[in-house]
Amino acid sequence: MPLVDETPVRRPRVPGRRVPVALLVPATLGLLFLVLPLGGLLLRTPWASLPERLSAPGVLTALRLSLQCATLATLLCLALGVPLAWLLARVEFPGRRLVRALVTVPLVLPPVVGGVALVLVFGRRGLLGGWLDSTFGLTLPFTTTGVVLAEAFVAMPFLIIAVEGALRGADSRYEEAAATLGAGRWTTFTHVTLPLVAPGVAAGAVLCWARALGEFGATITFAGNYPGRTQTMPLAVYLALETDLDGAIVLSLILLTVSVAILAGLRDRWITSP
């Protein structure tokens, strides 16, 4: 007589999920609402004259300025945002929730309002701008530096949120082991903490760079729209809409290509389902 019952166990069959029509219709309409404008952009693109338009001096200048400013803004966000994210993730201090809320304000703040706030602080008559102008002769509004500041202001929260999440998910035992072995706080941070959260820092930096590249409202309010100095790609699109629709479409296509490339690079981390 067998000691173990070897009779196969019948598992109940789980019926397949049927999509209710009441949900399928609005879901399809929502998808079309998001996809059709992008499809319209691709259909209206002047493909025959695309190489010529891409090589136009104004397009190349705006593209080069956009890439430079977005990169500099991302570096500024890394220098300031990573320490702030570490502080929010690892240090208990009074008012931490308030600080975290203030960090996320630029995410919901209209960019134009952010530009006005930057003018009130860094303008020639602003809280700090007047002192910078009188002491160092440094003027920030309507300059390329102003573009970098405006882009960093709206993009830094993306980096901080990503890095803070990575720090909270990292195993702190490695840092404790490094401290036990005699490593100082700075050595532990640079040799243990940063390598642990490097993927999160990279993802946050990419999102930060993409947000800076597409910034419009704060840039035009604080830095203006001067070709070769403050006119980035989004501003060039806005200006081209008034005189050259095909040119605006080509510039928009470049920004769309960059966005799709970024999403493709981050899909394994944030987009794909488990």
Residue 143, in any domain of the structure: yes
CATH of the domain at 130: 1.10.3720.10
Give yes or no for a contact between 122 and 138, defined as CB atoms under 8 angstroms apart: no
Q: What are phi and psi of 148, to 5 degrees?
A: -60, -45
In a domain, 160, yes or no: yes
Within a domain: 65: yes
Instruction: Flag whether 127 is in a domain.
Output: yes
How many domains does the chain contain in total?
Answer: 1
Continuous H helices in 3-56: 21-43, 50-54
Confirm whether 33 is domain-assigned. no
Enter the tokens of residue 268: 């394994």
Question: Cβ-count burial of 264 within 10 angstroms (0-12 exposed, 13-18 middle, 19+ buried)?
Answer: exposed
Q: How many CB atoms lie within 10 A of CB 175?
A: 18
Cβ atoms of 226 and 146 closer than 8 Å: no
Q: Is residue 178 part of a domain?
A: yes
Range of the domain at 161: 57-269
pLDDT, one tens digit for every residue, the chain (274 residues) = 455 455 555 655 545 567 677 788 899 999 999 899 888 888 888 888 888 888 777 888 888 999 999 999 999 999 999 999 999 988 888 988 999 999 999 988 999 999 999 999 999 888 898 898 888 888 899 999 999 999 999 999 999 999 999 888 877 777 778 878 777 778 888 788 888 888 889 889 988 998 999 999 999 999 999 988 999 999 999 888 888 888 888 888 888 888 788 777 766 554 444 4
Distance of CA 246 to the CA centre of its chain: 27
